[in-house]
Chains A and B, each alone.
Chain A
């Protein structure tokens, strides 16, 4: 096609209003049901959350009538606010504590597991590869009950409470780290460490200098995901809690959601969401910087979505 016809077509491009009228008049053109449906989906999916956030700032006690704006339920109320109600405050700190422990233990364990199981060829490795993805397809209630019974009947030296909960969080997080890092490893292939070893590096050094830097994006992504699923977890935290001092945010929402709900519960949920988003955003920006420094372009978001999909593939 010549340039001349191309320019005339651009020149004759109809105005926005004309195009809108043409779109309205021709129901058989580009599908119009789909954008409307998608828009409705986003409204349905996000507006309830926004409403819940709005009522966390309510001045009054209602969670359905707008009564001004205040930080009463976050800080100001001397008894009922998140900061001053010991149950709500401890729930927030317990959630953060467990997520930090889960990231600190599950990420190194999972990375080791991923590298080991991907490169090591043997019968033990093959069996372990199968076993280590089963937690993804196990409903949480099964894992929660199983660990509860273990700590009550067999490993009685580990009491219910923070230790037991942390063990539970690490256990379900491990498989997520494993599949995310493993997907990356499979796409890299063994050539790089082998090249480093041919150049005289001992295996451990080859691993550290050649492989680990290439795995950094996957490791950061898995840390974000472990943090998020650990903050989100309800069932395992609930079964392994020893009482209100070790209740996490979701457990608190569950136990107070129907019995004694005040906007403070909305405030607690909002704070948790904000913290999760801020931490995810920081990690995300760091990750993006690493990628840019290496000259890798393309949508990081797209990659994150793909990783999330990998992670939930068999959840």
Chain B
């Protein structure tokens, strides 16, 4: 007969496992398995008559032609995919930089000088989470139309002589949309971090003769590096998969991003393996970014602790 203590521990472990099991099974079937399906479709063929993908479930049947097509598009000839990848990286970099330039001062002000308005300011920061991204883009479509308020204001001030078509394949409109759409997701982690900074560190810096600005530059900024990296990762990852912002604010192939290509190939029909291969390439690219982000945050954390 087992001793009662061990029996209880085993029963408890069984309970924990039983509670976790449905969720684990769900993720295995609907999250892990789909990744294999993407790979199998990317390395499969297309049925010559039905034009539907024929996934290669068995690694022995793998056919690399979709990947070859993507690699050729990336590096040879017209470099159609290469241009799209470069454009995506440029747009994302500019949008992330602008977002940081907006998010940091706002988060800093609310966290440090919010005072009695803090609750209200916080509500303003959380509000965009409850407003659908697509609605926020719709708001800008309204404003950027030919007879929209942006043109009205610019004409009235005298910057423009004639109304400009802002929704006609302009990088500036797409980047504005991305910054507008994603910046709230960057402000909150920065806010949460800046709000937690130990004020005695700043007081110490001031006591040692640092000016207000020096204390900010030499204490607050270095301390917030991990939060900045987190904020960048939070908005850069979805930006790399974005296709709806360019579709809504430009509709032109001139602003086509990786996400637009994936969307076209997957829902456009005949070359689904190419779309799947693009997803795999995107995931590989992002996993490099993610690995860099993880190592950078741990390194920054270690440096601060020393």
Q: Does A2 contact B (CB under 8 A)?
A: no
Within 8 A of B (CB), among A166-202: 167-168, 170-171, 174, 178, 197, 202
Q: Does B148 contact A (CB under 8 A)?
A: yes
- With a cutoff of 8 Å between Cβ atoms, the chain A residues found around residue B108 in the complex are 34
Q: Are B279 and A142 in contact (CB under 8 A)?
A: yes
User: For chain A, what secondary structure do more than half of its interface residues adopt (helix, strand, loop), or is it mixed?
Assistant: helix
Q: Does A70 contact B (CB under 8 A)?
A: no
Contact pattern, B 18-61, Cβ under 8 Å of A = 1, otherwise 0: 11111110110011111101101100000000001101000000
CA distance A148 to B276 in the complex (A): 11
CA distance A306 to B22 in the complex (A): 28
* Interface stretch (choices A6-14, A71-79, A271-279): A271-279
Q: Are A207 and B234 in contact (CB under 8 A)?
A: no
Q: Are A174 and B23 in contact (CB under 8 A)?
A: yes
Pick the contact of B138: A113, A140, A265 (CB < 8 A). A265
Q: Are A305 and B191 in contact (CB under 8 A)?
A: yes
CA distance A314 to B110 in the complex (A): 22
- With a cutoff of 8 Å between Cβ atoms, the chain A residues found around residue B127 in the complex are 46
Question: How far is the CB of A55 from the nearest CB of chain B, in Å?
Answer: 6
* Interface stretch (choices B63-71, B73-81, B129-137): B129-137
Contact-size category for A: 35 or more
- With a cutoff of 8 Å between Cβ atoms, the chain A residues found around residue B18 in the complex are 116
Q: Are B16 and A120 in contact (CB under 8 A)?
A: yes
Known: A122-B13, A139-B282, A305-B126. A254 touches B134 (CB 8 A): yes
Q: Are B31 and A115 in contact (CB under 8 A)?
A: no
- With a cutoff of 8 Å between Cβ atoms, the chain A residues found around residue B247 in the complex are 254, 258
Question: How far is the CB of B300 from the nearest CB of chain A, in Å?
Answer: 16
* Interface stretch (choices A18-26, A81-89, A126-134): A126-134
CA distance A253 to B244 in the complex (A): 10
When C-beta atoms are compared, the residue in chain A nearest to B9 turns out to be A203
Interface size on B, residues (CB 8 A): 100
Q: Does A154 contact B (CB under 8 A)?
A: yes
Q: Are B15 and A204 in contact (CB under 8 A)?
A: yes
Q: Are B27 and A145 in contact (CB under 8 A)?
A: no
- With a cutoff of 8 Å between Cβ atoms, the chain A residues found around residue B191 in the complex are 305, 309
Pick the contact of A131: B27, B148, B290 (CB < 8 A). B27
Q: Does B175 contact A (CB under 8 A)?
A: no
Pick the contact of B122: A35, A231, A301 (CB < 8 A). A301
- With a cutoff of 8 Å between Cβ atoms, the chain A residues found around residue B243 in the complex are 141
Q: Are B132 and A249 in contact (CB under 8 A)?
A: yes
* Interface stretch (choices B154-162, B202-210, B217-225, B258-266): B258-266
Pick the contact of A145: B11, B30, B139, B266 (CB < 8 A). B266
Chain A CB count within 10 A is highest, among B119, B130, B242, B283, for B130
CA distance A126 to B40 in the complex (A): 27
- With a cutoff of 8 Å between Cβ atoms, the chain B residues found around residue A239 in the complex are 266-267
CA distance A184 to B303 in the complex (A): 29
Pick the contact of B37: A122, A125, A146, A232 (CB < 8 A). A146
Q: Are B142 and A142 in contact (CB under 8 A)?
A: no
Chain B CB count within 10 A is highest, among A31, A149, A178, A254, for A149
Q: Are B262 and A35 in contact (CB under 8 A)?
A: no
Contact pattern, A 95-135, Cβ under 8 Å of B = 1, otherwise 0: 00000000000000110110111011110110010011011
Q: Are A49 and B139 in contact (CB under 8 A)?
A: yes
Q: Does B82 contact A (CB under 8 A)?
A: no
Question: How far is the CB of A271 from the nearest CB of chain B, in Å?
Answer: 10
Contact pattern, A 16-52, Cβ under 8 Å of B = 1, otherwise 0: 0000000000000011011101100110111011011
Known: A38-B105, A204-B15, A254-B244. A146 touches B35 (CB 8 A): yes
Pick the contact of A272: B12, B34, B135, B136 (CB < 8 A). B135
Known: A128-B24, A131-B31. A64 touches B148 (CB 8 A): yes
Known: A31-B113, A153-B55, A305-B125. A203 touches B15 (CB 8 A): yes
When C-beta atoms are compared, the residue in chain A nearest to B250 turns out to be A258
Q: Does B98 contact A (CB under 8 A)?
A: no
Question: How far is the CB of A134 from the nearest CB of chain B, in Å?
Answer: 7
Pick the contact of A312: B110, B113, B140, B234 (CB < 8 A). B234
Contact pattern, A 269-300, Cβ under 8 Å of B = 1, otherwise 0: 10011001100100000000000000000010
Q: Are B130 and A64 in contact (CB under 8 A)?
A: no
Q: Are A141 and B132 in contact (CB under 8 A)?
A: no
Question: How far is the CB of B178 from the nearest CB of chain A, in Å?
Answer: 14
CA distance A42 to B114 in the complex (A): 14
Q: Are A51 and B143 in contact (CB under 8 A)?
A: yes
CA distance A9 to B272 in the complex (A): 75
CA distance A282 to B143 in the complex (A): 32
30 A-B pairs in the complex with CB atoms less than 8 angstroms apart: A37-B106, A38-B109, A38-B110, A46-B127, A48-B136, A51-B142, A52-B138, A63-B145, A64-B142, A112-B20, A115-B16, A116-B17, A116-B23, A121-B13, A131-B32, A135-B27, A140-B238, A141-B241, A145-B262, A146-B37, A147-B34, A149-B38, A149-B266, A150-B33, A153-B41, A254-B248, A276-B130, A305-B191, A308-B129, A309-B192
* New contact pairs (7) apart from A149-B272, A253-B138, CB-CB < 8 Å: A52-B139, A110-B23, A143-B34, A250-B135, A266-B142, A273-B135, A305-B122
The 4 A-B pairs of least Cβ separation, nearest first, read A116-B20, A139-B241, A113-B23, A120-B16
